[in-house]
Structure 1
């Protein structure tokens, strides 16, 4: 059976946080565990990280850890009685003044709110369930009229899709959470509410200043981020399509098109991309998904997302392992169809002019797979860059990625098709082919007589030095 190419991310929580549950999820097919710092204190998260590393050692399955920072979520304040009822057409005031909210008066916990809202701007409340439209801005107050009413409770979220948010995406809490996560050795850090490339670069500098090497995942969840998509993708190590807030920031009918644009941008820049939010939402309660959810997973796999993510389904759901199994089965069946019907992205997709040698080699490896019917691509990667570049044209075979660094092997858990292996560092990757073929046959990834395409760089140890390509038959 062909190995699954699409990676699966599962969010840990009360429903999945003990060691046996983590082991079960890993065996069911999870590649990366997400730790959501919007919930859970450091002592709980530290225990989860310990369990993940122990399960990795016991099972031999490389497991990535993604630390998801909360970011500057804008919220309303507290209300007398815990909530107020908004009626369509009602005049209300949104204010940054301290104090309790009441009928017609909504406290906002964001000091710059009046400066960033203009008359005519929509203001969405409670994840888009309610909407008011700004009429007038006076000092630290915004007068508005209710367009979509309902009950508004304490500390519900507030979204400003038409405003240019100037606040840093890194809060004081995020900085403390980042320091904790880097100390615990997480592999990826997800940055919430990214607006532009400089937000990503700020986080990267902070990681490096603390001696960390975690990769930065930019979450695209604001209209501003979509407008600055190319620069954000280029600055990031990976990208997440965070469809929850995207669906508030823009019409829901725009989200599938934006998702496709993000996937295409990531392919061009050879950056892994994660599709997230409500993939199997009904399985939080139900043991079976809807047909639409299965189609959503299949479409994301067909569009060659590197990874698909479960949130509440595994964090608080009643059927976490079943949700992973549904995702695995759907991905495998979709990929089986793709192998017969899909071709790699064309040369012109990536290059307008003559490319550097290492990019030409990695693309040519994909073309040889199609021309010769090869069953896999073998490569040695020092930084992970070769694996990402080979993966970007979307080959339908596994990338058997050998590395001498355990941290690098874990970072390959986010790259579509990559199957990481630890090997001793060698001056010439090609001298050890016999031993590597025996390892691959033992793991049933290749068999005698299979053609494989091999790519590496000689001399070894130089980043972006992929300059060798050859074809071998498995002895």
Structure 2
């Protein structure tokens, strides 16, 4: 049976927030559940986490839980009639005054709005469906000419791609949600609207203060500023999410696929897993079958060796949550089978501009050895996840059987392309027990007699991110 290398993230919501659906989604192939706190209060989400952990035990598997902090989404306020109609060419006032909106006035909930926009700045509303340009600023009032009209209703989102915003990416609500998530034992936290490495470092400090040792930080790239500061953000975070929704408003839509490639390349270079997200199978929110373009989008992300592909509304509010996961699984397996025939690992100069460290040289060479000897798998031992991420970064086309003594690490390995986690006792030295481990893999039908496996580990043991040994075994 083929082992799928690309991981699947599914968002929980009203359509999937039951133990039965969670069980079905895990059975279908979900590796990580994303908890978006706009879909449920703390009490509801606590139940979801409890059910995930129950089903994880039932199925003797490992499931990652990703808490997605909402961040400072800028929104318009409320209108007297619930909505207004904006027409092309119309000039209308946007204000930070605490007023009810009407046909001539749009209240904005971001108090620094009038100070941070400039004349000529573009304004996008309701996920980019409507747009305008700033013509004049007078005190708290900003005059905007509408370029693309339509209906604007209460609390719709507002994007300012040309403004340099000072909004703190960690809101008061995020702090409460973070505290709750850490108490409930989430594995990863995603930070929305990241602007720089400082934002990541601040969140990391807050996680440690709440007692969340080992919880990983995923940076969502969805602002123009984040694209400009991409390298420092990738280096500071544990993983990256290509959040194509807001990103597609902040930058030109035609730039999004190019930026996605850049993020994937930067992630591989720094051994950081990358999730590709947003509208991957959007039509399946309503329809039982996806469009051809959607399946091609999923297949492209797999061909580009994304570590994970994500479903949002498709599983949170969609009518066909389990089927959407099924489409992703099938698309990934079909695409990977094609790639296995011809794909070579990334060339070494993609990773090393100078002399590599011993770790980097060994983990890259282990990948070359897999190709040279037509090995069927790699075997590693990892404590901090560093070895797994480094071995996975050249994007091998074989599974990486990853042995760890940490349950939290086993769950986190679900984000690393190709990693198949196994929990072992702490005192196990991989090389002393290799025959036993290979027998276990053989009994589980993950390898067979005659298969070559490439083993990489570090001596002395128990030093995080230390890899200095390559060994090759043939399955007896």
TM-score range, shorter chain: over 0.9
Aligned-residue RMSD, C-alpha: 0.8
Cα displacement string for residues 165-210 of structure 1 (whole angstroms, at most 9, x for unaligned residues): 1111000000000000000000000000111111111100100111
Question: Matched residues in 2 for 1:28 and 1:39: separation?
Answer: 22
Give the CA deviation at 1:211.
1.4
> For residue 4 of structure 1, what is the aligned residue in structure 2?
4
Is 2:435 the counterpart of 1:421? no
Counterpart position of 1:219: 220
Deviant stretches of 4+, over 3 Å: none
Q: CA deviation at 1:426?
A: 2.5
Aligned to 2:85, what secondary structure does the other structure show?
strand
- Render the CA deviation track for 1:34-68: whole Å, top value 9, x for unaligned: 10012210000000000000010000121000000
TM-aligned CA deviation for residue 428 of structure 1: 2.4
Q: Is residue 14–residue 39 contact of structure 2 (8 Å, CA) maintained in 1?
A: no
The offset of 1:31, in angstroms, is: 0.1
8 Å CA contact 2:120–2:134 kept in 1: the answer is: yes
State the 1:242 CA deviation: 0.4
Query: What TM-score do the two structures reach when normalised by structure 1?
Result: 0.99
The 3-state SS of whatever aligns with 1:57 is helix
* 1:139 Cα deviation after fit: 1.4
- In structure 2, the residue matched to 1:149 is 149
What is the rounded CA distance, in whole Å, between the counterparts of 1:191 and 1:277 in structure 2?
Answer: 16
Query: Hey, what does 1:193 align to over in structure 2?
Result: 193
Alpha-carbon offset, residue 427 of structure 1:
5.6
Residue 452 of structure 2 corresponds to which residue in structure 1? 451
Matches of 2:137 and 2:235, distance apart in 1:
37
Q: Does the 8 Å CA contact 2:264/2:304 hold for their aligned counterparts?
A: yes
Matched with 2:101 is 101
User: 1:22 maps to what in 2?
Assistant: 22
1:306 is matched with 307
Equivalent runs, 1:220-259 vs 2, <5 Å: 220-259=221-260
Mapping 1:371-382, distance limit 5 Å: 371-382=372-383
Deviation at 1:21, TM superposition (A): 0.9
Q: Secondary structure at the match of 2:297?
A: helix
Aligned-pair CA distance for 1:91: 0.9
| Per-residue Cα deviation, 1:231-274 (whole angstroms, up to 9, x for no partner) | 00000000000001111111111111111111111010100000
Hey, what's the Cα distance between the residues in 2 that align with 1:371 and 1:429?
A: 23
Name the CA distance, whole Å, in 2 between partners of 1:259 and 1:274: 10
What is the alpha-carbon distance in structure 2 between the residues aligned to residue 140 and residue 419 of structure 1?
55
| Unmatched segments (≥5 aa) in structure 1 | none
Distance in 1, Cα, partners of 2:184 & 2:296: 37
After superposition, residues 279-294 of structure 1 pair within 5 angstroms as 279-294=280-295
SS of the counterpart of 1:128? coil
Alpha carbons 2:69, 2:177 under 8 Å: kept: yes
Match of 2:137, SS state, is strand
- Structure 1, residues 271-306: CA drift from partner, whole Å, max 9, x if none? 000000011111111111110000000000000000
User: Is this contact kept in 2: 1:405–1:422, CA < 8 A?
Assistant: yes
Deviations 1:4-30 (A, max 9, x none): 000000111111111111111001000
Give 3-state SS (helix, strand or coil) of 1:362's partner: helix
Q: Any conservation in 1 of the 2:363–2:456 contact (CA below 8 Å)?
A: yes
Distance in 2 between residues matched to 1:209 and 1:43, nearest whole Å:
23
Structure 2, gaps ≥5 residues long: none
Distance in 1, Cα, partners of 2:181 & 2:239: 18
CA distance in 1, matches of 2:108, 2:14: 30
8 Å CA contact retained: 2:68, 2:189: yes
Residue of structure 2 in register with 1:327 after alignment:
328
Match of 1:343 in 2: 344
Structure 1 CA distance for aligned equivalents of residues 397 and 197 of structure 2: 31
